[in-house]
Amino acid sequence: GVAPAAHAQATVRWRLASSFPKSLDTIFGSAEMFAKTVKALSGGKFEVSVHAAGELMPAFGVVDGLQNGTIEMAQTASYYFTGKNPIFAFGCAVPFGLTARQMDAWKNHGNGRKLMDAFLAEFNIKSYSAGNTGTQMGGWYRKEIKSVADLKGLKMRLGGGLFGEAMQKLGVVSQNMPVGEVYQSLEKGTLDATEFVGPYDDEKLGFNKVAPFYYYPGWWEGSAELEFYVNTKAYAALTPEFKAIVDAATIVAARDMGSKYDAFNPQALKRLVGAKTQLKAFSKDVLDAGFKASMEVFAEHEAKSPEFKKIHQDMRAFQRDQILWEKFSEQRFNAYMASVKV
Amino acid sequence: GVAPAAHAQATVRWRLASSFPKSLDTIFGSAEMFAKTVKALSGGKFEVSVHAAGELMPAFGVVDGLQNGTIEMAQTASYYFTGKNPIFAFGCAVPFGLTARQMDAWKNHGNGRKLMDAFLAEFNIKSYSAGNTGTQMGGWYRKEIKSVADLKGLKMRLGGGLFGEAMQKLGVVSQNMPVGEVYQSLEKGTLDATEFVGPYDDEKLGFNKVAPFYYYPGWWEGSAELEFYVNTKAYAALTPEFKAIVDAATIVAARDMGSKYDAFNPQALKRLVGAKTQLKAFSKDVLDAGFKASMEVFAEHEAKSPEFKKIHQDMRAFQRDQILWEKFSEQRFNAYMASVKV
């Protein structure tokens, strides 16, 4: 029935802290799209102020901010918080994990969201997709990676998540540094390689000028799902109408981000190749070594945590089914399309 | 700023006519999800009644219904209306066309939506995605299709769109009949084959018992995007808040449908194979003949209509870029994942 009471509701103001800078306009744009949508849907009665990393708190402080109620909402990559618990990684990306569509299906109509939100409850967090980057590139390298041996001793800047542990098994020496220092370090040679996202984001940083070998695929990020984290108490305090607005606006933002990456990456890739980037495929040898190391990492975490094991196994069972079905649908269709001139 | 006027707005009631029956719970569920979301977002002030095919008007009467203002909204597959103008097909699916993610990117951040809505304006229609089935199967056959010669004289029930014209070039004899009569016709042998959607929808109709050869991929539907069509005058009469609600609720519904197909298709496929369905890949010979015939169909329509040519060429340029980028991202990642045991 009609709920006129909802229209007498007071104005609500939330603060959203992003773990990302404004310069990543696809990702940060998803937080802005969320806020814009909330405002439009509520006729201006619900406003969300969006803050870039560092404005309210450090990029990696947002989970603490939510847990202690400093902010109502965050936009982040969950794998930044594997130091708190490795389970966080499943919200965003794990090595040889789900693609964007698989992730959406696992969370939305599989057990993914349910399992992750049960885990996140202790942090007072309820999660939503904020958009997916799709399969990422495998990073920029000053020298070619011809075999697994070339990874040994490689000084590489790595993003978050469990793949750092797999890289360590392969002999990669992880280097922690702010994005702003990466270019200079590659130029000086104090850094051998860096991974980042994909053509559209990477192009802005100019890595092709100092590390021209651009490898694919990023086996540690078959997709990377950014997420909105909402403080469960702030959410519970909303009217049903405003809850529905938060739920819907996250989906609007997530969809916009994903399709933006898909639309913009090809052009950026062509520009990068025009600017002497050398596209290189990781050899089967390297992928196999990465796969073996990754499976060891998962086994180690499973041995330590039944909760980790439960979520990991649920994700893998879902993934196996997806891979089976894709063999008879997208994979076959795409292979044919790649073989003809449209 | 705050817009208190929006909260004094009158109750709005719309009627949505679907071209689909309730039994297609994924597709029809998207219309129901749209209505449910609109109601929740508006605090019950905006209600949309959802009507299955035939309730208010015939399945294929919805464009006329929108054009003459009988209904405010429809849910349909645009390629049902290629008899009015072949351009309609681009909203849903054309042979060797876009995949689900490509379609979303083309419409949302390419020129797709803009071009299609300019075309649809003469029908008083504004369009939105209602969800995508993903790559469809190539249908059910009583006998194996070993070569192009086996298509000659094949009596087959076909869905909508331009691919019927391509099938005709291959010698297929298109049979028009309601879905409810297909099973019996296959059993009697008055029909040799039928195409429908994919495992989850097809399973309900039991075709495997009478036409056990289940071919892939459905080259005429690399994806099929269902759409919401909104009467432009009804939309223009909405407050900014209710316009935002319609916009957002379509995205919520579309996302839900797509991920539901992805999550449910693998299980249905396994059950079908357990029930003696024989999965068969179309040979390269058959795909090549389908591709050649399809390109002839496109060339014929381009020669007749500059507007058709403009939209088709825009879509193909977008598709070429997507295929290029996927070679370095999803395609490579997925190929590796299909080669290992996760």
Note the pLDDT of residue B159.
Answer: 83
Q: Chain B: residue nearest A338 by CA?
A: B323
Alpha-helical regions (H) of B275-305: 284-304
Per-residue model confidence as pLDDT tens digits over A58-111: 999 999 999 999 999 999 999 999 999 999 999 999 999 999 999 999 999 999
In 3-state terms, what secondary structure has residue B222? Answer: coil
Starting at the edge strand that comes first in sequence, how are the strands of the sheet with B73-76 ordered?
B46-51, B12-18, B73-76, B225-231, B125-132
SS3 of B131-167: the string is EECCCCCCCEECCCCCCHHHHCCCEEECCCCCHHHHH
Alpha-helical regions (H) of B14-129: 25-41, 62-67, 100-109, 112-120
Longest dimension (CA), chain B: 68
Note the pLDDT of residue B4.
Answer: 43
Whether the complex's predicted ipTM is more than 0.90 is answered with yes
Find chain B residues with C-beta within 8 A of A332's C-beta. 135, 216-217, 281
Q: Chain A: residue nearest B8 by CA?
A: A7
In this complex, which of B102, B333, B342 lies closest to A319 when CB atoms are compared? Answer: B342
Q: Do A74 and A63 meet the contact criterion of CB atoms below 8 Å apart?
A: yes
Q: Do A258 and B109 meet the contact criterion of CB atoms below 8 Å apart?
A: no
> Does the CB of A93 have a partner CB in chain B at under 8 Å?
no
Note the pLDDT of residue B176.
Answer: 85
Q: Cα–chain-centroid distance for residue B88?
A: 12
Per-residue model confidence as pLDDT tens digits over B224-246: 999 999 999 999 999 999 999 99
A2 has a pLDDT exceeding 70: no
> Does the CB of A293 have a partner CB in chain B at under 8 Å?
no
Q: pLDDT band for position B1 (50/70/90)?
A: very low
In this complex, which of A2, A101, A251 lies closest to B262 when CB atoms are compared? Answer: A101
Note the pLDDT of residue B9.
Answer: 62
Is the Cβ pair B316, A342 closer than 8 Å? Answer: yes
Average pLDDT, stretch B109-120?
98
d(CA B31, CA A173): 52
SS3 of A228-245: the string is EEEEHHHHHCCCHHHHHH
d(CA A80, CA A162): 10
Per-residue model confidence as pLDDT tens digits over B2-50: 444 445 567 999 999 999 999 999 999 999 999 999 999 999 999 999 9
The domains located in chain A, with CATH, are 10-132+222-264 (3.40.190.170)
Which long-range contacts does A242-247 make (Cβ < 8 Å, 24+ apart)? A242/A9, A242/A12, A242/A42, A242/A46, A244/B37, A244/B40, A244/B41, A245/A38, A245/A41, A245/A42, A245/A46, A245/B41, A246/A38, A246/A128, A247/A128, A247/B252
> Does the CB of A30 have a partner CB in chain B at under 8 Å?
no
B135 has a pLDDT exceeding 50: yes
> Does the CB of A83 have a partner CB in chain B at under 8 Å?
no
d(CA A192, CA A206): 15
Is the Cβ pair B41, A244 closer than 8 Å? Answer: yes
d(CA B57, CA B191): 28
Q: Tally C-beta pairs within 8 A across A and B.
A: 257
Per-residue model confidence as pLDDT tens digits over A162-192: 999 999 999 999 998 888 899 999 999 999 9
d(CA B191, CA A263): 42
A4 has a pLDDT exceeding 70: no
Q: Do B112 and B103 meet the contact criterion of CB atoms below 8 Å apart?
A: yes
Note the pLDDT of residue A178.
Answer: 83
Per-residue model confidence as pLDDT tens digits over A104-117: 999 999 999 999 99
> Does the CB of B325 have a partner CB in chain A at under 8 Å?
yes
Average pLDDT, stretch B140-145?
98
Q: pLDDT band for position A142 (50/70/90)?
A: very high
Note the pLDDT of residue A9.
Answer: 62
Best of A223, A242, A325, A336 to mutate (most B CBs within 10 Å, chain B) = A325
Note the pLDDT of residue B6.
Answer: 46
Note the pLDDT of residue A10.
Answer: 78
Per-residue model confidence as pLDDT tens digits over A11-32: 999 999 999 999 999 999 999 9
Is the Cβ pair A270, B324 closer than 8 Å? Answer: yes
Q: Do B316 and A340 meet the contact criterion of CB atoms below 8 Å apart?
A: no
In this complex, which of A41, A44, A105 lies closest to B259 when CB atoms are compared? Answer: A105
A280: β partners: A215
Average pLDDT, stretch B85-89?
98
Phi, psi of A51 (to 5 degrees): -120, 130
d(CA B1, CA A95): 45
